[in-house]
């Protein structure tokens, strides 16, 4: 099976501007930013979509959100930020490896879609 773009980043086959890494998670700047700050937080363990989660994935997904808040603090996003997970084609998911978008650095409009 072909590796996803994110698996290739995890394996260092593709370079990325990495902001955080631990044994479970990697956070790096998006190459096509939708806000002044746009970071992707991904699990190192492949999980295609949030809808494929099982109860055993809950600690990992919680860790993704914890890391996103830590990165937001490190980047000085004191005025606020948005965390987004796209699930499926209709939501705009293009890489089928679960990831959280951390968006900030400007006022973000609502509704988002």
CATH number where 36 lies: 3.30.428.10
Inside any domain, residue 110 = no
- What percentage of the chain reaches a pLDDT higher than 70? 99
Which one, of 53, 59, 108, lies nearest residue 84 by Cα? Answer: 108
Residue 88 backbone dihedrals phi, psi, to 5 degrees: 95, 170
Inside any domain, residue 111 = no
Cα(6)–Cα(11) distance, rounded to whole angstroms? 9
Each residue's pLDDT tens digit, 50-79:
999 999 999 999 999 999 999 999 999 999
pTM, rounded to two decimals: 0.94
Per-residue confidence (pLDDT) for residue 51, from 0 to 100: 94
Inside any domain, residue 109 = no
Number of domains in the chain: 1
Residues annotated as catalytic are: 99
Mean pLDDT throughout 40-49?
A: 95
Q: Which domain holds residue 31?
A: 5-104
Inside any domain, residue 16 = yes
Is a pLDDT exceeding 80 seen at residue 1? no
């Amino acid at each position: 099976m072909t590796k996803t773009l994110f698996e290739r980043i995890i394996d260092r086959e593709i370079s990325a501007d990495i902001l955080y890494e631990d044994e479970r998670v990697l956070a790096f700047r998006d190459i096509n930013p939708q806000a002044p700050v746009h970071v992707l937080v991904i699990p190192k363990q492949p999980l295609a979509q949030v809808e494929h989660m099982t109860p055993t994935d809950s600690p990992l997904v919680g860790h993704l959100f914890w890391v996103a808040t830590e990165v937001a603090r490190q980047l000085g996003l004191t005025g606020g930020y948005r965390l987004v997970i796209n699930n499926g084609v209709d939501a705009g998911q293009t890489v089928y490896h679960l990831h959280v978008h951390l968006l900030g650095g400007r006022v973000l409009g609502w509704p988002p879609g």
